Amino acid sequence: MSDAPSKPALDGVETASTLDAVIVGAGFAGLYMLHRLRGLGFSARVYEAGSGVGGTWFWNRYPGARCDVESLEYSYSFSEELEREWQWTERYASQPEILRYLNHVAERFDLKRDIQFETRVTAAIFDETANCWTIHTDRGDRVSAKFCIMATGCLSAAKVPGFKGLEIFHGKWYHTGHWPQEGVDFTGQRVGVIGTGSSAIQSVPIIAGQASHLFVFQRTPNFSVPAHNGPLSPEVIEDWNEHHAEYRHRDRTSAFGINFEMSTKSALEVSPEERQRAYEERWRRGGFSVVGAFADLIFNKEANDTAAEFVRSKIRAIVRDSAVAETLAPRDYPLATKRICVDTGYYATFNRDNVTLVDVRVTPIEEITATGLRASNAEYTLDSIVFATGFDAMTGALCNIDIRGRGGAALKRKWSEGPRTYLGIMVAGFPNLFTITGPGSPSVLSNMVLSIEQHVNWIADCLAYLREHQFANIEATVNAENDWVAHVNEVANFTLFPLANSWYMGANIPGKPHVFMPYIGGVGVYRQKCDKIAAEGYKGFALSAPGS
């Protein structure tokens, strides 16, 4: 991977027009936002850094990339026709299939004509005199819009750790979140994968099948549960086609936006045998369902320990070398407080002769060398290095844009001690700026597509309301924002989530404040709150007429 080439400016470098809205990003969120605004008769333009639609699913093309939410649920629900005409092929959709879907959506709703590709938004400045946003791009565009809608994604600012020596490495290196479009063939190579999060856990089994030798450099082991992926049966598809309205409603009113089936029992009130049966049953089902085996797994450490020990026992049963199994078994944080992974053959990959696990907590990576990587105990000769090292989650993509609100105040500065929003949708001091699935909303703790649709609909309805009532501005009040931030923290502190050094907590980025960023109150509860606030005339927001 190399730095992006400098881009030529497009014709008509400055765009004088004033749009109703600029949307930043053409993933699931940006595409649907454009569709909704068009339907309401607003003018809108999307700026997208990639050369195609897809967002996360455009960039994350690493081997084995797949969604860990089931395909039937991880899809738009806004169009009955779309719902009927698109057929998912597998329980968990692969990245190429999701990208095909998003391209289909873009074509079907004729969205591409309002998307400017290969254009990264660099700044969004609120002009208090003209009462509009001025958006700047790396192509030299400068466009005005009444509303600026950030559809920039929660896991889009890829993070390559600053290892000494990377620039002298003679081999090739990649980040999973910026995978080359043409793919990579590791056949016969010595490959190092750094990181053991979801991206590594999906790609390691595939890379191991190609490489002559694969070294997996692990800092923190992750809990992973089997996907049991496979083709969707005609019966499942037929059932979905018949009942999807009902299933979608169930998801919208649920905790995580997926069919989760949360037990009402405590893990501590049942016998060890019953507990084991429940975990085994969930393990057979696969996916996140294990977290719903008991009602208190994310609230009670003792209850959680029983589930964590169950997964560790599975790791020991799969991995033949007991020392490797122990290294792969997470111990220092509760199950699910770092994003649980969903895999196909991850642990079994460590039974292969051509795979070596390196615990970098014991032998830290010291530097990248011309020929590979030096850890404190050994030097590893590598042809390629894969950084599966994650993202500056939730705030990274927003803070990478120079966003300035009233009085020229920078969002990055406002968030220097952690993100502050009202509902995860708006920020006090930044009128008419919306953040789809922003920090302080369920976002990454939910089925993202469902949460995106909810935010997009809320924002679209809000813009229609402003127009109808002749308001020019909407802005979160400081009080409402303070109350919301306190509520987000209060709910998080009821759970075990703050106990982990996770990217939910900003812990993976050196210097980032440790604040639990998503809202864990549940998507159903959250939706009700958002709807109530809108129904009460946007309580907690200041609405003002032009020029006021």
Sign (positive or negative) of CA dihedral 500, 503, 508, 509: negative
440: number of Cβ within 10 Å: 27
d(CA 508, CA 514): 9
Joined together, the tokens standing for residue 445 give 């703790």
Q: Smallest distance, Å, CB 133 to ligand NA7? A: 30
The phi and psi torsions of 394 (rounded to 5 degrees) equal: 70, -45
Q: Smaller CB distance to ligand NA7: residue 94 or 196?
A: 196
Which of 252, 271, 263 shows the shortest CA–CA distance to 297? 263
Cβ distance 88 to 240 under 8 Å?
no
Q: Smallest distance, Å, CB 17 to ligand NA7? A: 37
**Please, where are the H alpha helices in 128-233?**
198-210
Q: Smallest distance, Å, CB 227 to ligand NA7? A: 13
d(CA 205, CA 66): 13
Q: Smallest distance, Å, CB 341 to ligand NA7? A: 7
Q: Smaller CB distance to ligand NA7: residue 254 or 508?
A: 508
Q: Smallest distance, Å, CB 61 to ligand NA7? A: 13
d(CA 48, CA 118): 6
Q: Smallest distance, Å, CB 91 to ligand NA7? A: 17
Cβ distance 434 to 422 under 8 Å?
no
Joined together, the tokens standing for residue 46 give 């999307």
Q: Smallest distance, Å, CB 204 to ligand NA7? A: 11
Burial class, 345, CB count within 10 angstroms (exposed 0-12 / middle 13-18 / buried 19+):
middle
Q: Smaller CB distance to ligand NA7: residue 424 or 429?
A: 424
Q: Which residues pair with 476 in a beta bridge?
A: 541
Q: Smallest distance, Å, CB 38 to ligand NA7? A: 30
Give the SS3 label for residue 82.
helix
> Which residues of this protein are in contact with ligand NA7, per CB under 6 A?
155, 161, 176, 194-200, 219-220, 339, 360, 365, 388-390, 503, 508
Instruction: Give residues with Cβ within 8 angstroms of 109, minimum separation 6.
Output: 31, 35
Burial class, 111, CB count within 10 angstroms (exposed 0-12 / middle 13-18 / buried 19+):
buried
DSSP 91: S
Q: Smallest distance, Å, CB 512 to ligand NA7? A: 12
Distances (CA, A) of 295 to 123, 257, 538: 45, 17, 34
Q: What is the spatial order of strands in the sheet that 379-381 belongs to? A: 365-369, 372-375, 379-381
